[in-house]
Amino acid sequence: MESLFEYIFSAPMLILVFVMVLLKTSIKFVPQNRAYVIERFGKYQSSKEAGLNFILPFVDRVAADRSLKEQAVDVPEQSAITKDNISLHVDGVLYFRVLDPYKATYGVDDYVFAVTQLAQTTMRSELGKMELDKTFEERDMLNTNIVTSINDAAGPWGIQVLRYEIKDIVPPHSVMEAMEAQMKAERVKRAQILESEGDRQAAINRAEGEKASVVLAAEADKEEQVLRAEGEAKAIVAVATAQAEALRQVGEAAATTEGQKAIQLDLATKAIEAKQAIAKESSVVLLPDGGTEAAGVVAQAMTIINQLNKG
């Protein structure tokens, strides 16, 4: 047992242990996306980035371990007053990262708390420049203005704000009711406008349909009249042609001896029929001057026909 204690506390073993302690305290493995702030005798010495790093044992120490990753911090709900004196409750999320570990360590005591408070005050300031309606319509612009203002103030802290997102904007209950009433009235107005536009378009369509119907009816009537007139003209021409043909045939027949006799017989027959008709219709009876009146009528008619034929 004494030999074991002597071996453990022997000079070579003590030197080995001392060397191992020196190596352990002098070698620092910095993880990816992190930075170690090294102080020597309480004063800033350097910033060690990811990888294998060496420091002086018992002289240098790791004063701060800073993450270089993007961080998300919930900004607590707070009250803000708009330009038109409406009180709102607003909360959001802030995204930032550390650019300079030295400034983040020595420029501010707690950079997370500082940037959160800065986000709250900046948000209240930006909301005070806008009216209530604009806070809902221009939320993207509001987020951009907040990020710009925070970056201007957080530069000495080595912090870069990447973006700010407003999660919710809650106006007072009375304002909510008024907004709901306004939106309802707007929807009713739009519905009425759409209905009136529909009625207007329907009336226009009906008028155009009636106009087209009248035009088509007029064109059909016009075509019908034209066709009827053409038919009547063709019928008149056909009748006139038939009458001319009949007269031509009668004239040819009248130029013969048999035709002359037939004409005499026809004229005598018509003369007798005419006298009979007159006798029936009139109470006055006309007696012929002589027994040869019928023959005289026929002779006169034949004389006229012969002159026409000669002509």
pLDDT for the residue numbered 228 = 85
pLDDT for the residue numbered 291 = 46
Q: Which of 31, 35, 30, 37 is nearest to 60 (CA)?
A: 37
Q: Are 161 and 117 in contact (CB under 8 A)?
A: no
| Confidence tier at 183 by pLDDT (50, 70, 90) | confident
Write out the H or E segment, with its range, that includes residue 296: helix 293-310
Q: Distance between CA atoms of 243 and 237, rounded to whole angstroms?
A: 10
Q: Distance between CA atoms of 42 and 59, rounded to whole angstroms?
A: 9
3-state secondary structure of 31: coil
pLDDT for the residue numbered 17 = 72
Q: Which two tokens mark 257?
A: 């001896």
* Mean pLDDT score of the chain: 79
Least confident of 97-111, 167-181, 204-218, 249-263: 249-263
pLDDT for the residue numbered 290 = 47
